[in-house]
Amino acid sequence: MHEPTDPATDPDADPESVARTILLRQLTDRSRSRAELATALRKKQVPDDVATRLLDRFTEVGLIDDEAFARSWVESRQRSKGLAQRALAMELRHKGVDDDITRSVLAEIEPDDERQAAARLVRRKLHSVRSAPEPARTRRLMGMLARKGYSSGLALSVVREELGADEAWQIENDSTP
């Protein structure tokens, strides 16, 4: 019995079939930006005209949507990693999302949401820095927020607020008989 061949690995396959198979496989894992998909096609040496035609068609039918991809990416990375707008913008740029789309999607983030996310990150990290002297605690917490893309002003404000709340909680719980 003859097994069906995989267009992506068959050297005699039509370039359009190869490109379509690559795109569908890439989109099966997760949504991707148009630039990521174009790179995948280039790596598999799909001719540029075929790649462009299929990318345009996939975009036309809604299988490729950079704005939806960016929204989904931002929501996921905020939830899972607590990333700030600056870090998210860098990631989207790395994924090849257009700067206008990136700005539009990031403009939907409320400043208070970003502050709350920073506070959650600090509260999670507090237990591991409690035994350190005060300057080291502040420095470690600020560094963690900086790596997540938070501005130094917001980071300092949140760290001071959370350290103050933590100290008040410790005093309150240590003084109970």
CB-based contacts of 86: which residues, under 8 Å, 6+ apart?
149, 150, 151
Give the amino acid at 175.
Answer: S
> What pLDDT, in 10s, does the model give residues 19-78?
999 999 999 988 999 999 999 999 999 999 999 999 999 999 999 999 999 999 999 999
Residue pair 37/30 in contact (Cβ under 8 Å)? The answer is no
> What pLDDT, in 10s, does the model give residues 127-149?
898 888 988 999 999 999 999 99
pTM over 0.75: yes
Rounded CA-CA distance 105/99 in Å is 10
